Amino acid sequence: MTTLTPVLSRNWDRPDSFTLAAYRETGGYQALRKALTMEPDAIVELVKSSGLRGRGGAGFPTGMKWGFLPKDNPNPRYLVVNADESEPGTCKDIPLLLANPHALVEGIAIASYAIRSNTAFVYVRGEVLHVIRRLRHAVAEAYEAGLLGRDVLGSGFDLDVVVHAGAGAYICGEETALLDSLEGYRGQPRLKPPFPAVAGLYASPTVVNNVESIASVPSIVANGAEWFTSMGTEKSAGFGFFSLSGHVTRPGQYEAPLGVTLRELLDMAGGIRAGHELKFWTPGGSSTPIFTADHLDTPLDFESVGAAGSMLGTRALQIFDETTCVVRAVGRWISFYAHESCGKCTPCREGNYWMVQVLERLEDGRGTEADLDRLLDICDNLLGRSFCALGDGATSPVTSSIKYFRQEYLDHLEHGGCPFDHAKSTVWGGGR
Amino acid sequence: MSVFSDETTRARLEVDAKEIIARYPRERSALLPLLHLVQAEEGYVSADGIAFCAEQLGITTAEVTAVATFYTMYKRRPTGEYHVGVCTNTLCAVMGGDEIFAALKEHLGIGNDETTEDGKVSLEHVECNAACDFAPVVMVNWEFFDNQTPDSAKSLVDDLRLGRDVKPTRGPDRLCTWKQASRVLAGFSDGLATQGAQAGAPSLAGLDVARRNGWTAPDPARPAAERADDVEGDAK
Ligand SMILES: Cc1cc2nc3c(=O)[nH]c(=O)nc-3n(C[C@H](O)[C@H](O)[C@H](O)COP(=O)(O)O)c2cc1C
Ligand code: SF4
Ligand code: FES
């Protein structure tokens, strides 16, 4: 049986958890002290051996990313923390920053020292005002206490941290679009290579990491790589947030070792809401192919979820019961992708536009069976042919829903509209 | 006359702009916060606001416009004192966000992206706001109003229009105005960071389960071999 492993969330039930004083009382900033006595490269090696993989969706090994920074580039180096959290279903970084911003600030200090950067940015989505206040407050407290700024803790290491509020654009979560946005331009992805490690912010060597990735670093420095790898699986080490939302009795954040299953998580969360049963779910946000009740025992690690035909993504488990119309759900997600497509490349810009049209008529019962092939055709032209992963991601809900629920699409045609009563899916309409 | 041509206002904003620009290694990075700053002044990004940003950075108004129109948080028309955003992305929509949005449109007599005649409330449907475990979610001036219903949302907008004090679920003790919120986004503190809850109940759901069961992350002080024995012991 897998048990929960609260690390980043372990102090969240203290009403003052977001303050420097509270963070210190639970051991905060000890890891930074330790890190500053180590060689920067030794920290990079430590993070490599911990097996920490990016928590922002793609799962790239964090230590390896840090190691890619060229040694001979004379430009300043930058750490950019991705706090754009906008992938539908993803809701972990925002509560983390609200309750425990110092975990990120300490992680930034350690990571910056390790990669020899003296300036770090946190790009936070703009639509979370209080989170931005909390994070700025934590940064100010850290400056005040000598944990940031000139000569951090007397080590001779200087570090400035700038909190930058975005302005509403999902695509700015894509790391190169984020860099363009941070440079003051429209947030559109850049051609890779060069990767940010070589030419990132201001064409300088840059590491872009997710909030949770960086916030996990202090625990690794404090407790060691072996401690970290004692959780999770061989190739998906450590712990992470599993965010349960939707038709579940107790939705919320569950910090668990990677490899936990939805069945185990649902057990802890009181199951699917009373009187209903699981129909479909996303393992890692709307860009990851949906799963069904057949996948309740799939270990939620990068390899197992991949082998089962989806992606671990951001561990955003959006849970839908049998009252939910899958055609409606997918249609809404595709409207999102169409709205958020940055317009740079044709397959994504046009493909999503057409998918919205086709899905609308299917939902209204005005479509034809040939429309399903049309959708799959458009997906063929999107997947692997779009300029960035937003376009690829848009195909996930479409192809997976047709795979598992083809008949439900056809039911809309036969019924001449949606056969579901949407009121039953609501929080207040679920009674039987 | 534009607020940006009033000499005292302009002088004050130029000081703010300088402070913003100084945060960055390169000036142009200041554009997003500068746009938040002009929105804080007028409630939206006007042609004059765009010209102000362009001047501060020494770039053209066309360059600023291209950026301002890319991001959904910058409004191109006057916005109400309270911007009410109803999440209608899939998860919230299914959980009742669609019903809430429909109820507010009817109750306020306005459509998407419109403002009530008294200038108090602007209504918009918004995308996933990273609060799905609190669905259905309504944002007012980008503060969280979690776990809403059509009725709670209607009384919320009534309170806003009547000027009653309104408290976000996870936010400061009192809601600030749209302009004040934009100023925070531009990077100026309003001193409210320490107010309000540290976490909502769903954020604590996993921690509660762990506490009740006595579950913790492994104790780093104990060697891994010993811990492995525990696990085996459990399995027996
Ligand atoms: C459309 C799109 C949106 C993304 N949004 C985010 C995001 O909000 N936060 C995030 O950390 N990564 C996001 N990513 C992934 C980033 O591009 C990048 O992989 C990540 O920030 C790297 O950090 P990590 O290695 O620590 O995970 C997004 C990617 C795409 C294609
Ligand atoms: S795939 Fe979509 S979001 Fe990505 S570059 Fe192309 S148009 Fe822009
Ligand atoms: S879908 Fe509404 S907050 Fe995520």
pLDDT in tens, A314-353: 999 999 999 999 999 999 999 999 999 999 999 999 999 9
Instruction: Name the pLDDT band for A357 (thresholds 50, 70, 90).
Output: very high
- CATH number of the domain located at residue range(s) B82-177 in this protein: 3.40.30.10
Is residue A283 within 8 Å of A329, Cβ to Cβ? no
pLDDT > 90? residue A385 = yes
B197-231 burial, b if ≥16 CB within 10 A, otherwise e?
A: bbbbbbbbbbbbbbeeeebebbebeeeeeeeeeee
Contacts of A99 in chain B (CB under 8 A): 198-199, 203
Nearest alpha carbon to residue A301 among A134, A59, A82: A59
pLDDT of residue B1: 63
CA distance B162 to chain A (A): 23
Cα separation, A170 vs B127, whole angstroms: 9
- Of the candidates B72, B95, B203, the beta carbon closest to that of A253 is on B203
Residue A415 token pair: 């019924």
Is residue A97 within 8 Å of A131, Cβ to Cβ? yes
Cα separation, B181 vs B203, whole angstroms: 24
The amino acid sitting at A274 is: A
Query: Nearest ligand to the C-alpha of residue B128?
Result: 3
Give the binding-site residues of ligand 2, using a 6 Å CB cut-off. Answer: A 171, 189, 341-345, 348-349, 386-388, 390-391
Cα separation, A360 vs A339, whole angstroms: 15
**CATH architecture of the domain with residue range B3-68:** Orthogonal Bundle (1.10)
* Domain spans in chain B, listed from the N-terminal domain onward: 3-68, 82-177, 205-235
Whether A396 contacts chain B with CB within 8 A? no
What average pLDDT does range A140-151 have in this prediction? 98
Cα separation, B123 vs B116, whole angstroms: 8
Residue A217 token pair: 């670093």
pLDDT single digits (tens) A247-297: 999 999 999 999 999 999 999 999 999 999 999 999 999 999 999 999 999
Is residue A64 within 8 Å of A48, Cβ to Cβ? yes
Q: Where are the alpha helices (DSSP H) in chain B?
A: 7-22, 31-42, 47-57, 61-68, 90-92, 98-108, 150-162, 178-185, 205-213, 224-235
Per the CB < 8 Å rule, is A252 touching B211?
Answer: no
Strand, helix or coil at A148? coil
pLDDT > 60? residue A36 = yes
- Intra-chain end-to-end CA distance of chain B, in Å: 80
Cα separation, A288 vs A305, whole angstroms: 10
What average pLDDT does range A4-23 have in this prediction? 98
Per the CB < 8 Å rule, is B193 touching A134?
Answer: yes
pLDDT single digits (tens) B31-81: 999 999 999 999 999 999 999 999 999 999 999 999 999 999 999 999 999
> How remote is the CA of residue B47 from the centroid of ligand 3, in Å?
33
Q: Whole-number mean pLDDT of chain B? A: 94
Strand, helix or coil at A45? helix
pLDDT > 50? residue B233 = no
Which of residues 186 through 215 in chain B touch A, CB cutoff 8 A?
A: 186-187, 189-190, 192-194, 196-211, 213, 215
Per the CB < 8 Å rule, is B135 touching A90?
Answer: no
pLDDT single digits (tens) A211-247: 999 999 999 999 999 999 999 999 999 999 999 999 9
Is the bond preceding A101 in cis, omega lying within 30 degrees of 0? no
What value, to the nearest 5°, has the Cα angle with vertex A184 and ends A181 and A190?
A: 45
3-state helix, strand, coil in chain B (%, to 5): 50, 10, 40
Cα separation, A373 vs A229, whole angstroms: 45
pLDDT of residue A342: 96
pLDDT of residue A190: 97
Is residue B42 within 8 Å of B49, Cβ to Cβ? yes
Instruction: Name the pLDDT band for B235 (thresholds 50, 70, 90).
Output: very low
pLDDT single digits (tens) A39-73: 999 999 999 999 999 999 999 999 999 999 999 99
What average pLDDT does range A126-155 have in this prediction? 98
pLDDT of residue A431: 73
Strand, helix or coil at B232? helix
Contacts of B224 in chain A (CB under 8 A): 226-227, 230
Residue with CA at minimum distance from ligand 1 atom 5: A173
Mutational test site, ligand 1, from A178, A210, A395, max ligand atoms within 8 Å of CB: A210
Cα separation, A336 vs A286, whole angstroms: 10
Instruction: Name the pLDDT band for B17 (thresholds 50, 70, 90).
Output: very high
A142 DSSP β-pair partners: none
Residue A269 token pair: 């969360």
Cα separation, B21 vs B30, whole angstroms: 5
Instruction: Name the pLDDT band for B2 (thresholds 50, 70, 90).
Output: confident
Strand, helix or coil at B33? helix
pLDDT of residue A86: 98
pLDDT of residue B227: 57
Phi, psi for A430 (deg, rounded to 5): -85, -10
The H or E element containing residue B139 is strand B138-140
Task: List the domains of chain A with CATH numbers.
Answer: 20-229 (3.40.50.11540), 239-321 (3.10.20.600), 326-424 (1.20.1440.230)
Nearest alpha carbon to residue A379 among A317, A337, A409: A337
Rounded to two decimals, the ipTM of the complex is 0.97
pLDDT of residue B221: 85
**Tokens 């009181």 appear where?**
A270
Q: Whole-number mean pLDDT of chain A? A: 97
Beta B138-140 vs B143-145: how paired, if at all? antiparallel
Whether A86 contacts chain B with CB within 8 A? yes
pTM for the full model? 0.97
User: How many cross-chain Cβ pairs, A to B, lie less than 8 Å apart?
Assistant: 292
pLDDT of residue B236: 32
Q: Where are the alpha helices (DSSP H) in A51-167?
A: 62-67, 93-99, 101-115, 129-144
Mutational test site, ligand 1, from A66, A81, A82, A94, max ligand atoms within 8 Å of CB: A82
pLDDT of residue B226: 62
Q: How many CA atoms lie within 13 A of A379 on its CB side?
A: 22
Strand, helix or coil at A33? helix
Contacts of A91 in chain B (CB under 8 A): 128, 130-133
Residue of B nearest to A314 (CA): B130
- Intra-chain end-to-end CA distance of chain A, in Å: 33
**CA distances (Å), origin A169, targets A54, A87, A349, A388:** 21, 11, 15, 15
Residue A219 token pair: 């625990």
The amino acid sitting at A332 is: R
Strand, helix or coil at A252? strand
Per the CB < 8 Å rule, is B91 touching A318?
Answer: yes
CA distance B90 to chain A (A): 5
**Tokens 């109400």 appear where?**
B80
With 0-12 / 13-18 / 19 or more C-beta atoms within 10 angstroms meaning exposed / middle / buried, residue A193 is: exposed
Contacts of A244 in chain B (CB under 8 A): 133, 205
Is residue A330 within 8 Å of A376, Cβ to Cβ? no
Point out the ligand 2 atom lying closest to the alpha carbon of residue A189.
5
